[in-house]
Structure 1
Amino acid sequence: MFTISSLHIYPVKSLQGIALSDAVLTMQGLAFDRQWMLVDAAGKFVTQRQMPALARISTRLTAECLVLEHAGLPPLSIPLVPMPDNRCAVTVWRDTCMGCDEGAAASHWLTQAVGQWQGGDLRLVRFAPEGVRPVDPAYMDGDSADTAFSDGYPFLIVSEASLAAVNVQLLANGAEAVPMARFRPNIVLSGMSAFGENDCKTFTATDASYRFTLRKPCQRCKTTTVDQRTGVIANPKEPLRTLTAMNPYPHLSGAYFGQNATLTLGHGVVIKVGDQVQ
């Protein structure tokens, strides 16, 4: 039996996240997770991999708006109701899907906050309400699922003990410990042994109201080197170097931490911090 110790959403891909006490489960992830992202003039996604300074933009949700905040600028409010006439094609990794451009004012605000990318202004786009972006079927065992603007899966699940184990090794290597925010999880579990999530196939609520199926380990990128409040990269090699050395998957090379997952039961159910899963 394990306990959900924290829940997190990232309304705008690569901007700061929001810790929640509860969230509505959808097939595309926790409600409002990765429903927006930044794109360049060609509609290609832009993240902290290219612009670490994006980590300095905070996000919050009200009943009516998504609010972006950055030091020295007035907050930017984006209505939660999409603008129906601003459809545009956008690209995230190898997928092209439909988005809704949030307009010139949002683009100008982003340029003031973090500057241009490759000589052009950033644009803020929302995942189109009717959009469908399928998860890679290679890891779905015949099931199907879709996501919004996440890298590839609607949920990322990790355990507190796994982070503790990584930090023990980081300190042993002479590096600094890192907070969970570096890994941008959606669901964090307590009561599990270190890397116990790697040995599980499903997590089911004790009342059987929802179930997640774990699909594949999450390969990590340079975003884990970015301080998720300041946008500063103090050590460009860590924690990736330590994760690569700790890699528990002999058939895979690289840095891995956490498990990508899909929802197989419970669309519309409310998940809460403190829930028990097994």
Structure 2
Amino acid sequence: MKISKLYVYPVKSLRGCSVASATLTAQGLKYDRKYMLVRVHTQPDGSVTYESQYVGNVDVLCLFTTSFLPNDEEPHSIRITYNEPTGAPAATEKAEKPYIDIPVAADYKQLETVDLIIHLAHCIGYDMGAACEEFFTKYLGFPTKLVYVGDSTREVKGNVAPNKMHVTGTTDEKQTVSWSLYIYGLVVWLLGYLVGSSEVGSTSEKDEDYRIHFSDCAPLLVTSEVSLEEFNRARKESEKEIALDMSKTRPNIVVGPSEAGDMSAFEEDFWGELTMRNLKQPKDSNEPKILLTSNCGRCKSLNVDYDKGKQQPVSDQMLKRLSDMKRRVDPGHGYSPIFGRYGFIAKDSVDMKVRVGDLVEVSKTNEERTVFYWPGLSAGTKPKKS
């Protein structure tokens, strides 16, 4: 197998950039989802709250494209372009599309902060200012700020992090885990105090916390080219259903076959770890590893027509087709069908590079599918709508 495509999404929920290579960071591919749009809600008492925006809930976000300038190898800025929906009246055919440029890494220390909650996990965003607010408010039609993640990170809830895969939603197990960690920490501290060793209690990869930026649940999403082909084969040709483009699934790493027959559709459900190898490097060199922990449950963002910025007609809706293929294979996601796996960069793989064309080996597999658990997102934990 090999990496067939790499995608970076500089602004969460806007269209991404296809890149030839990417550097792995603790929070995902470099430059990925460092910015996010938030809707500004002014309450009757004058207080202000901020709501993160997602394609699927705000379909027109797909009309914004992003690109790295001058290139994706050594970018210094990101260009965000607004594209009129297909069929909308345009001023002139040759009119330049409206855009705004932002830095790949903002100087955020002096920026005002915005408190954010994304899937019950708190973080801070740095307000990118009036020019960005004016640009996005104009085309979205409601007060909108662009925020930068800066040095802020979010907790990975539930059992999605590699060192929390044992966690479940039952109260007894959560209490057992909590007390076990407390007792373990106390024992380690006492041992360190008694023997005076700085090495006792040193943090291993299993004990280290994994943190994320603005990504939903994990730093990476891995998908399969072969699974997409299988999905598109399920179309009813008589009804002229359209094919799903991989970009709509918003992956970071797309894995494809090196030769015919070396992948089967949806085998990624059982992948636990991937190892990448660059053919130009010696075999004994360090090879980046991706730890795959959870399935990705799909929402109605798959149904968005990227040319029109709105939901597709029922006959062309991808979410229903995926459900019809019996892809509701994770009880943790309830009725949401599964496509792709959430992943984390192994601690010793941070700062390594991956490239389109790199060989991919499944270095660990799971005997059974993992079951997703994230309070507020997983089945049985979602807040009831008032």
Instruction: Provide TM-score, normalisation by structure 1.
Output: 0.91
Cα deviation digits, residues 141-187 of structure 1 (max 9, x gap): 52442211111111000110100111111336843211111101110
Q: Secondary structure at the match of 1:58?
A: strand
Residue matched to 1:135: 156
Alpha-carbon shift at residue 240 of structure 1 (Å): 0.8
Candidates 31, 45, 58, aligned match of 2:52? 45
C-alpha contact (below 8 Å) 1:16/1:228 kept by paired residues = no
Alpha-carbon shift at residue 253 of structure 1 (Å): 3.2
Structure 1 window deviating more from structure 2 (177-186 vs 240-249): it is 240-249
In 2: Cα distance, 1:221 partner to 1:11 partner: 21
Alpha-carbon shift at residue 266 of structure 1 (Å): 1.1
Structure 1 window deviating more from structure 2 (135-144 vs 56-65): it is 135-144
In 2: Cα distance, 1:176 partner to 1:255 partner: 19
- Does residue 155 of the first structure (1) align with residue 162 of the second (2)? no
Alpha-carbon shift at residue 250 of structure 1 (Å): 6.2
C-alpha contact (below 8 Å) 1:156/1:261 kept by paired residues = yes
Q: Secondary structure at the match of 1:138?
A: coil
Structure 1 window deviating more from structure 2 (160-169 vs 250-259): it is 250-259
Residue matched to 1:204: 275
Residue matched to 1:81: 106
Partner amino acid for 1:151?
A: D
Change (3 A) 1:182 1:52: same
C-alpha contact (below 8 Å) 1:102/1:124 kept by paired residues = yes
Q: CA RMSD in A?
A: 1.9
Partner amino acid for 1:6?
A: K
In 2: Cα distance, 1:184 partner to 1:240 partner: 14
After superposition, where does 1:96-175 map in structure 2 within 5 Å?
96-116=122-142, 121-128=143-150, 130-142=151-163, 143=206, 144-171=209-236, 174=239, 175=241
Residue matched to 1:245: 324
In 2: Cα distance, 1:161 partner to 1:213 partner: 20
Alpha-carbon shift at residue 112 of structure 1 (Å): 2.0
Candidates 53, 57, 60, aligned match of 2:64? 57
Alpha-carbon shift at residue 193 of structure 1 (Å): 1.4
Residue matched to 1:259: 341
In structure 1, list runs of 5 or more residues that go unmatched. none
In 1: Cα distance, 2:65 partner to 2:293 partner: 30
C-alpha contact (below 8 Å) 1:82/1:100 kept by paired residues = no
Percent identity between the two aligned chains = 29
In 1: Cα distance, 2:160 partner to 2:300 partner: 24
Alpha-carbon shift at residue 254 of structure 1 (Å): 2.1
Alpha-carbon shift at residue 73 of structure 1 (Å): 4.8
- Does residue 274 of the first structure (1) align with residue 357 of the second (2)? yes
Change (3 A) 1:31 1:254: same
In 1: Cα distance, 2:320 partner to 2:28 partner: 29
In 1: Cα distance, 2:101 partner to 2:39 partner: 21
Task: Answer 1 or 2: which has greater strand percent.
Answer: 1
In 2: Cα distance, 1:27 partner to 1:8 partner: 17
Change (3 A) 1:245 1:58: same
- Does residue 11 of the first structure (1) align with residue 10 of the second (2)? yes
Count of equivalent residues:
272
C-alpha contact (below 8 Å) 1:23/1:31 kept by paired residues = yes
In 2: Cα distance, 1:11 partner to 1:254 partner: 26
Instruction: Provide TM-score, normalisation by structure 2.
Output: 0.67
Partner amino acid for 1:217?
A: N
In 2: Cα distance, 1:66 partner to 1:167 partner: 33
In 2: Cα distance, 1:176 partner to 1:133 partner: 37
Residue matched to 1:194: 265
Residue matched to 1:30: 29
In 2: Cα distance, 1:232 partner to 1:250 partner: 28
Change (3 A) 1:235 1:182: farther
Alpha-carbon shift at residue 132 of structure 1 (Å): 1.9
In 2: Cα distance, 1:232 partner to 1:16 partner: 14
In 2: Cα distance, 1:132 partner to 1:182 partner: 26
Cα deviation digits, residues 203-255 of structure 1 (max 9, x gap): 01235421011111100111111133442322357211121232162645321
Q: Secondary structure at the match of 2:310?
A: coil
Change (3 A) 1:250 1:212: closer
